[in-house]
Amino acid sequence: MPRESKAKKRERALITCRRMEEHYGGAESALDYHDPFTLLIAVMLSAQTTDAGVNRVTPELFRKWPDAFAMAQASPQEVGSVIRSIGFWRAKAKHCVEASQIIVADYGGEVPHTMKELTSLPGVGRKTANIVLNKAFHTCEGIAVDTHVFRIATRLGFTKAPTPLAAEQDLLDLIPRELWSPVNEQWIHFGREICTSQRPKCEECWLADICPSFERPDRYRKDAKKRKASDKKAGSPEA
């Protein structure tokens, strides 16, 4: 196959965003939260864990520790006892407590508003920071690339990056800034309904005509298994 020009790739990216908006415009987060702090904690917990799994533990978690001041006083063991049904719960419990302590000590109990400040918190990478900035503070500094966005971007040929962090930069280069904000939620819905990790519904896909992986998405799956094994070995909860 001839190499695709950047202009053609950008054209496909624009078509993708337009069709995503047509199908999933107004899509909301599946995570339950009610303020910037509970959003931050919920997103931290969601790494390599389903939103449904997070929503099962956060009612009790936020009943006991509703804000940074309360969670800063908890021990990782106490928090861990509430969230132990989700993946990487020990590391996540530790990060929740440590992040809360920093939020109280350095920011007066208020979740910080910048990418630099958020990513300085334990357990908070660019994906988490992007979601918090976008949803809590209506600030868009990037695209939150989770496992769904990463899979879709790879299958669509928008990135060959080995990690979500590197893939974000490729997407930012292709998609106009004014379209960054809805990418995460819309692509997550698409990834759950159509472009699933196992047995994607290519025959039902309304991006099939512009997808270079149409009916042959296994190429992504093999690489994903390698990355998943590497993440598991490293013990990192950030997805």
**Residue 33 CA, distance from chain mean position:** 16
Q: Which residue of the set 92, 94, 127, 135 is catalytic?
A: 127
Structural tokens at position 122: 């334990």
| 142 neighbors 156 (Cβ within 8 angstroms) | no
Cα separation, 58 vs 131, in Å, equals: 18
Cα separation, 177 vs 143, in Å, equals: 9
Smallest CA-to-CA distance from 143 within 121, 111, 112, 170 is with 170
Q: Indicate if the alpha-carbon torsion angle 53, 82, 58, 87 is positive or negative.
A: negative
- Please confirm, yes or no, whether 222 is among the known catalytic residues: no
Cα separation, 138 vs 149, in Å, equals: 20
- Please confirm, yes or no, whether 35 is among the known catalytic residues: no
Q: Which residue of the set 67, 94, 135, 146 is catalytic?
A: 146
In Å, the largest CA–CA distance within the chain is 59
Q: List the catalytic residues.
A: 127, 146
